């Protein structure tokens, strides 16, 4: 059982996924700083000094932090856009490598449909 676990962990895709998660967590911190420290103040300047994190409303004892939700949506859109651009770039590179590595193969030479039909006709006549 220990050997199976070791083999599972050492497979390439598991290690790649772990690296991706670690890089993703670090990237999330960068995006959080970008949104909180650069984008929100810029939006605040444009719309008159509104701080999204301060937007909230209450119902009874419950306090709904709408501004924090808006910040999370902005962060999600930025991360989703960056992931989209990365995937698009990787796909483009993969397609470039495919066309360079594998030249277009010629279709296999063989009889045409008309030739096959003529053979069938001749075989039927010979019966």
Q: What angle do CA 17, 83, 87 make, to 5 degrees?
A: 80
* Full DSSP string of 29-44: HHHHHHIIIIIHHHHH
Whichever domain contains 31, its CATH number is 1.10.1200.120
Boundaries of domain holding 74: 2-126
Q: How many domains does the chain have?
A: 1
The model's confidence at residue 108, banded by pLDDT at 50, 70 and 90, is low
> Does the reported pTM lie above 0.95?
no
Q: Above 80 in pLDDT, residue 101?
A: no
Residue-wise pLDDT tens digits, 22-74: 888 888 888 888 877 888 788 778 877 667 777 888 898 998 988 888 888 88
């Amino acid at each position: 059982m220990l050997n199976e676990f070791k083999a599972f962990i050492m497979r390439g895709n598991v290690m790649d996924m772990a690296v991706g998660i670690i890089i993703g967590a670090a990237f999330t911190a960068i995006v959080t700083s970008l949104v909180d420290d650069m984008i929100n103040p810029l939006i605040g300047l444009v719309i008159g000094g509104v701080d999204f994190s301060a937007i909230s409303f209450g119902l009874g004892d419950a306090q709904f932090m709408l501004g924090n939700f808006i910040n999370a949506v902005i962060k999600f859109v930025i991360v989703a856009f960056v992931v989209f651009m990365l995937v698009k770039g990787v796909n483009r590179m993969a397609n470039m490598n495919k066309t360079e590595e594998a030249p277009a193969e010629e279709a296999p030479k063989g009889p045409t449909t008309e030739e096959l039909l003529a053979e069938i006709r001749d075989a039927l006549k010979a019966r």
